[in-house]
Amino acid sequence: MTRAIIRISGQEPAKFLQGLVTNDLRHLERDGILYAALLSAQGKYLADFFLIAQPDGSICVDVAADLAPDLMRRLAMYKLRAPVEIAQTDMPVSRGTGPAPEGVLPDPRHPALGWRLYGVSLPDDGTDWDALRVAHCIPETGIELVPQDTFILEAGFDRLHGVDFRKGCYVGQEVTARMQHKTTLRKGLVTLGVEGTAPVGTEIVADGKIAGQIYTQSGGQAIAYLRFERAQPEMQAGTCRLFWQPKPEHA
């Protein structure tokens, strides 16, 4: 896990972020940590991150290191005359699922993902993160979450507590709201059963038609992006056999 920490300080950093990100900063004081994303004006994913309240009133943004330069550039673009300062820090990040040290915060996406600790560097506790992600269909930055391509509702951000539909405007909100008001999504991430392995991104074929792509695989399961109207109980991805049991919302 290579992460970067960006600190937003100055006057009212929460007000600055509130009009940009998908979650409601009004919950941050209560919860201490939020999961959120920054979207393009077209509603497509640019970056996902954790927001962490700091004792001095600043807010830290915990983001994948590969996405940090572009995220800082975009935050600076939106800053305009806002009285905030944006700077990358060297704050360490640790995570685990075992006994929790003092000062940890729960991963807000899912209880199975354990805790996160800021300001302390701890050794790896041996958690199989891919297995946990696949079992609970948790997308990962740069694998299932693709900048300028992914729509966050198809990636399950409502289920992962990463979007608030009542907070008001943010960048990409109109597209996200239209998708949310559909009766059902036609495409999205799901967990499938799998026999064999296939490279990440391999196309899934059902009845001779492309039905999606396969991504992270672990323990006989895989996260896949499916077009639900084309998906079948048994499908193929390269030499892999895939098995899907649709839920009512996918019918």
The pLDDT, as a whole number, for residue 35 is 98
The pLDDT, as a whole number, for residue 180 is 87
Distance CA 106, CA 115 (A): 4
H-type alpha helices, the chain:
13-18, 28-31, 68-79, 129-136, 173-180
pLDDT tens for 37-77 read 999 999 999 999 999 999 999 999 999 999 999 999 999 99
First CA to last CA distance, the chain: 36
The answer to whether 3-178 and 183-250 have equal CATH topology is no
From 44, 178, 49, 43, select the one nearest 108 (Cα to Cα). Answer: 49
What's the topology of domain 183-250? Answer: Elongation Factor Tu (Ef-tu); domain 3 (2.40.30)
Q: Is the pLDDT of residue 250 over 80?
A: no
Distance CA 58, CA 60 (A): 7
Give the residue extent of every domain in the chain: 3-178, 183-250
Percent above pLDDT 90 for the chain: 90
pTM, whole model, 2 decimals? 0.94
CATH class of 3-178: alpha beta
The pLDDT, as a whole number, for residue 65 is 97
The pLDDT, as a whole number, for residue 81 is 84
